Structure 1
Amino acid sequence: MVLPMVETKRIYINGVWGDSSSGQVASVVNPATEDVVATVPAGTVEDARAALDAAEAAFDAWSSLTPLDRAKYLFKAADEMEAVKGDLARTITLEQGKPLYEARLEVEGSIENLRYYAEFARRIQGDVLPSDFPNRSVMILRLPLGVVAAITPWNFPSAMVTRKVAPALITGNTVVVKPSSYTPLSAIKIVEAFERAKLPRGVLNLVTGSGSSVGRELTSNNKTQLVTMTGSTEVGKQIMRDASGHVARLILELGGKAPFIVWRDADIAWAVKNALWARFWNAGQTCICAERIYVHREVAERFVSSFVEAARKLRIGDPMGDVDMGPQVSKSELEARERFVEEALARGAKLLTGGRRPPSLTRGYYYEPTVFADVDQKAPLVQEEVFGPIVPILEVESFDEAVEKANDSKYGLASYIFTRDLNIALKAANTLRFGETYINQVGPELLQGIHIGFKQSGLGGENSVYGLYNYTQLKTVYVDYSDKPNTPYLFPYTKQG
């Protein structure tokens, strides 16, 4: 038997690759085979502090560069990633389990993040306003914040790194990245690309390790001026508590429970095709996935039968091969999906397909596409984020009922509606309490659109110029340029007539 080769990786602090201060390592597991494919340092609080120190020390020189000069490093890093994009895609699939086709698309998006934000070098805009007094001006400046802690998730281990690093760097901040413990290898390769691009030492640092040690030090340390994190709502709440001690800025993209509404006039074949992808891409492990489907009663039978048939035809298997779905990212995530199914069955839900690990796949964290009917609106399957290939389908009789049930959630990230009726579409756009609404199409979100959530789906937002400005600090400057300054209300006061 040939054992898989295990790579050894390092953390990156102040331009130097090294081991954890503890000397301990953590394993990276391929979810398709359950084999250990790499080890990374189990970073410590001391490592996190060293990275923050390096970022703080590099800040003055980096923020003093013009945005055009900073952009050169982003463009060069993008070129370096382009040169190894095949290897990076394979790394994503190896550590995260998504099909190689999806990984390739993610890499393309990761590179585009760098180029998109580099192009803002001449468009980081402030304002100049007239004063209330003659020969004076009011200037609004946009300045960098300082040190940014970027905590990235496992479901898009490459794209989420560049989505956070690119806007932080172009606006003059320095960064410490903490990738997910499940998927650190992609982030390491991105930092390697920046190193080849000759990014100055200390501007970008990376520490692998647990959220309870490295993550909490990054979020609670007063050197961190902004925390940008993509992850669960519960972790987001913990970060809010940790960061409140020094009132750090926050950008939090948290949980989602996207409703997918199929109205009675929808093109059913098109709606099925889109709903299938919106639920099962990345094996359901996406924050904007269609987590619950609401179908008008008049077309429910047609939609459900077509959707279930299509779900059964999805190809599951080795994500390096020609498949539609790979595994869940870990054993614990797989077991969490199984608990949702067990609970749904115990509550009387009707299983239409799936609900088990594929019998033919004896290794790996695979789970079949699973569809339920006869699920109550208040059931955990409808209310809690599943984050896997399991979806309930519920029937509705009116538009108001569809919107009411869609909005009946603590989350508010993405939503979908399929209809030919413009009035219905526009009403949905204005009444669905979600940061994104997709009408007759699916995502993912585009760079020029703000990716933002309502309610417990997060704070702030990313992408677009609106997301870029979350990485800046506004400052007002008042200027008197008169030859003979005169401010009538200064001391000593004089009697007024």
Structure 2
Amino acid sequence: MLTALNYINGKWSETSTGNTKENVNPGNVNEVVGSYQESDLHDLNQAVEAASKAKKAWKKLSGSNRGEYLYKVADIMEERSEEIALIASKEMGKTIAETRGETTRGIAILRYYAGEGMRKVGDVIPSTDASALMFTTRVPLGVVGVITPWNFPVAIPIWKMAPALIYGNTVVIKPASETALTCVKILECFDDANLPAGVINCVTGKGSVIGQGIAEHTKVNGITFTGSNSVGKQIGHTAFERGAKYQLEMGGKNPVIVANDADLNIAVEATISGAFKSTGQKCTATSRVFVGSEIYPAFKEQLVKRTNELLVGDSLAEGTWMGPCASKSQLATCLEYINKGIEEGAELIAGGNQIHHDKGYFIEPTIFECTDHSQTIAQEEIFGPVIALFKVESVNEALKLANDVEYGLSASIFTTNISEMLTFVEDIEAGLLRINAESAGVELQAPFGGVKQSSSHSREQGEAAKEFFTSIKTVFLK
């Protein structure tokens, strides 16, 4: 059975606590995928010290030299892509087709940031002194703490670690316990690429111990976090108090607007994909759908029909469309919100039931027809396959309702009207906008992040990543 050891200063190590915990397959609860260590602050301190000692030599390498390491990691990971996808699918329940795609994306992210090592890091700025040269350059933060969630166990760790490394930082990562084994498989690729000892380190364990310990550690210069709002705010508050740089990507309650002139088939299929792929366990997943009154009856009928046709089952079976919830607690949360929706008067028109009880944490893709936007299922992030469906009289009404939540991560609209598209771009309160495409979709070369309570207002991925992982130095030379 695979055990997720810590990776500290270039070596795999057992925690001093001796405590381990098993990870089971959420789609087959009788299968133990492996175990991870519940480390303590002693282990974390060793990892941070190793990263701190390694940061000077890593910083002094050229960007192209650091990029060569990332290219090598990508090549190794490509050779092991099926193994990594299989572990990821077993650990968190995402279908094998989706984890294969995610692993391919992780490889592409590594290669993208490897190329960043050859791109510019500053600008020449005219000085008022004609005999002087003034320019900017960028320098790494130092040691970066990476705290990642379970829902994208391959892509998110890589889209944080790769830019951190290419811009000259060293890394200590604390992966989600639910997908610690997947993270170890990724770290094995870094290890086999022979990165210098201490440049990348991994410590598994409880978020309240290791995650909070990263936020509090005086030698951690920056923290990048993806996860829940409650934990993110705690991490940000702790980092702020000691002056560390922090980046938070948190929840979403993402709307889709379907105008009366939309292509019905495209809008329905995109809504289903955005809402139910990954069992709705994406921060960009479609959660609320606002449909023009003229096409509402046809849209509703087709949406329900297609939803009821989706095959829910074994994540590793090639024909499965949707797998289980990632854990028993996540299933319980979804069922609790469904019961809340019924109690508050929303009409359940599809799904809503736990299924395959004897196998794992499965639930039907669920649709509520709603008329009251103040209901809990229309306001709070569920992180499961649940849609709140609304009929609206205009795009303006839809925009008003779409903005009536505390989140602002992603949003999409389906329309052929250029004026409506531009109004949407101007008025929607979200960081990622998609037109005639599902709300869930992030491209690695483009900035990603939200507004309002979805983000600390920084951006990940693409060239925008350099804004977080580096600081600017302005140089006046005479």
Normalising by the residue count of structure 2, what TM-score does the alignment of the two structures yield? 0.98
| 1:61-72 matches, cutoff 5 A | 61-72=57-68
Aligned to 2:129: 133
> What one-letter code is carried by the residue in structure 2 that aligns with 1:15?
G
Aligned to 1:283: 279
How far 1:9 moved relative to its partner? Answer: 2.6
Question: How many Å separate the matches in 2 of 1:170 and 1:128?
Answer: 22
Question: How many Å separate the matches in 1 of 2:429 and 2:240?
Answer: 27
SS in 1 for 2:430: coil
Deviates more, 1:65-74 or 1:16-25: 16-25
Question: How many Å separate the matches in 2 of 1:237 and 1:293?
Answer: 28
How far 1:220 moved relative to its partner? Answer: 1.1
Q: Is the 8 A contact 1:168 1:174 kept in 2?
A: yes
How far 1:76 moved relative to its partner? Answer: 0.1
> What one-letter code is carried by the residue in structure 1 that aligns with 2:66?
R
> What one-letter code is carried by the residue in structure 1 that aligns with 2:459?
G
Q: Is the 8 A contact 1:295 1:394 kept in 2?
A: yes
Change (3 A) 1:124 1:152: farther
Q: Is the 8 A contact 2:236 2:248 kept in 1?
A: no
Question: Does residue 475 of the first structure (1) align with residue 473 of the second (2)?
Answer: yes
Question: How many Å separate the matches in 1 of 2:126 and 2:259?
Answer: 52
Aligned to 2:432: 436
Aligned to 2:461: 463
2:7 to 12, 22, 38: 12
How far 1:468 moved relative to its partner? Answer: 2.7
2:18 to 9, 20, 23: 23
Q: Is the 8 A contact 1:30 1:36 kept in 2?
A: yes
| 1:481-492 matches, cutoff 5 A | none
Which 4+ residue blocks in structure 1 deviate beyond 6 angstroms? none
1:85 to 78, 81, 87: 81
Change (3 A) 1:375 1:329: farther
> What one-letter code is carried by the residue in structure 2 that aligns with 1:20?
T
Q: Is the 8 A contact 1:337 1:386 kept in 2?
A: yes
Q: Is the 8 A contact 1:252 1:461 kept in 2?
A: no
Q: Is the 8 A contact 1:220 1:245 kept in 2?
A: no
2:447 to 438, 441, 450: 450
Q: Is the 8 A contact 1:22 1:44 kept in 2?
A: yes
Question: How many Å separate the matches in 2 of 1:479 and 1:430?
Answer: 43
> What one-letter code is carried by the residue in structure 1 that aligns with 2:14?
D
Question: Does residue 347 of the first structure (1) align with residue 344 of the second (2)?
Answer: yes
Aligned to 2:156: 160
Aligned to 1:495: none
Question: How many Å separate the matches in 1 of 2:132 and 2:210?
Answer: 48
Aligned to 1:218: 214
Q: Is the 8 A contact 2:145 2:223 kept in 1?
A: yes
1:180 to 176, 179, 182: 176
How far 1:461 moved relative to its partner? Answer: 1.1
Question: How many Å separate the matches in 2 of 1:206 and 1:374?
Answer: 45
How far 1:375 moved relative to its partner? Answer: 4.2
Question: How many Å separate the matches in 2 of 1:270 and 1:127?
Answer: 45
How far 1:97 moved relative to its partner? Answer: 0.4
Show structure 2 runs of 5+ residues with no match: none
Question: How many Å separate the matches in 2 of 1:154 and 1:66?
Answer: 33
Question: In the TM superposition, what whole-angstrom CA distance separates every residue of 1:318-372 from its partner, at most 9, and x where no partner exists?
Answer: 00002000000100110000110111111111110111112x4522000000101
How far 1:186 moved relative to its partner? Answer: 1.2
Question: How many Å separate the matches in 1 of 2:237 and 2:451?
Answer: 19
Question: How many Å separate the matches in 2 of 1:124 and 1:20?
Answer: 41
Question: How many Å separate the matches in 2 of 1:43 and 1:449?
Answer: 35
Question: Does residue 377 of the first structure (1) align with residue 373 of the second (2)?
Answer: yes
Question: How many Å separate the matches in 2 of 1:136 and 1:78?
Answer: 43
Question: How many Å separate the matches in 1 of 2:129 and 2:165?
Answer: 37
Question: How many Å separate the matches in 2 of 1:327 and 1:239?
Answer: 29
Question: How many Å separate the matches in 2 of 1:54 and 1:223?
Answer: 11
Q: Is the 8 A contact 1:97 1:327 kept in 2?
A: yes
Deviates more, 1:239-248 or 1:305-314: 239-248
SS in 2 for 1:201: coil
1:255 to 251, 254, 260: 251
Question: In the TM superposition, what whole-angstrom CA distance separates every residue of 1:197-246 from its partner, at most 9, and x where no partner exists?
Answer: 01000000000001100110101111111111111111110001111222
> What one-letter code is carried by the residue in structure 2 that aligns with 1:192?
E
Question: How many Å separate the matches in 2 of 1:40 and 1:124?
Answer: 40
Normalising by the residue count of structure 1, what TM-score does the alignment of the two structures yield? 0.94
Q: Is the 8 A contact 1:413 1:434 kept in 2?
A: yes
Question: How many Å separate the matches in 1 of 2:371 and 2:245?
Answer: 40
Aligned to 2:327: 330
Flag the structure with larger Rg.
1
SS in 2 for 1:160: helix
Q: Is the 8 A contact 1:317 1:361 kept in 2?
A: no
Question: In the TM superposition, what whole-angstrom CA distance separates every residue of 1:12-61 from its partner, at most 9, and x where no partner exists?
Answer: 00011011121111211211111322111111111111111000000000
How far 1:470 moved relative to its partner? Answer: 1.5
SS in 2 for 1:256: coil
Question: How many Å separate the matches in 1 of 2:27 and 2:341?
Answer: 26
Question: How many Å separate the matches in 2 of 1:315 and 1:378?
Answer: 32
> What one-letter code is carried by the residue in structure 2 that aligns with 1:270?
I
SS in 1 for 2:262: coil
Question: How many Å separate the matches in 2 of 1:373 and 1:363?
Answer: 30
How far 1:275 moved relative to its partner? Answer: 0.4
Question: In the TM superposition, what whole-angstrom CA distance separates every residue of 1:143-170 from its partner, at most 9, and x where no partner exists?
Answer: 1110000111100001011100100000
Question: How many Å separate the matches in 1 of 2:112 and 2:120?
Answer: 13
SS in 1 for 2:261: coil
Question: How many Å separate the matches in 1 of 2:2 and 2:146?
Answer: 24
2:411 to 412, 415, 434: 415
Aligned to 1:399: 395
SS in 1 for 2:28: coil
Q: Is the 8 A contact 2:177 2:206 kept in 1?
A: yes
Q: Is the 8 A contact 2:114 2:166 kept in 1?
A: yes
% of aligned pairs identical? 39
> What one-letter code is carried by the residue in structure 2 that aligns with 1:227?
I
Question: How many Å separate the matches in 2 of 1:124 and 1:468?
Answer: 11
Aligned to 1:489: none
Deviates more, 1:146-155 or 1:459-468: 459-468
Q: Is the 8 A contact 2:257 2:395 kept in 1?
A: no
Aligned to 1:362: 358
Q: Is the 8 A contact 1:75 1:114 kept in 2?
A: yes
> What one-letter code is carried by the residue in structure 2 that aligns with 1:351?
L
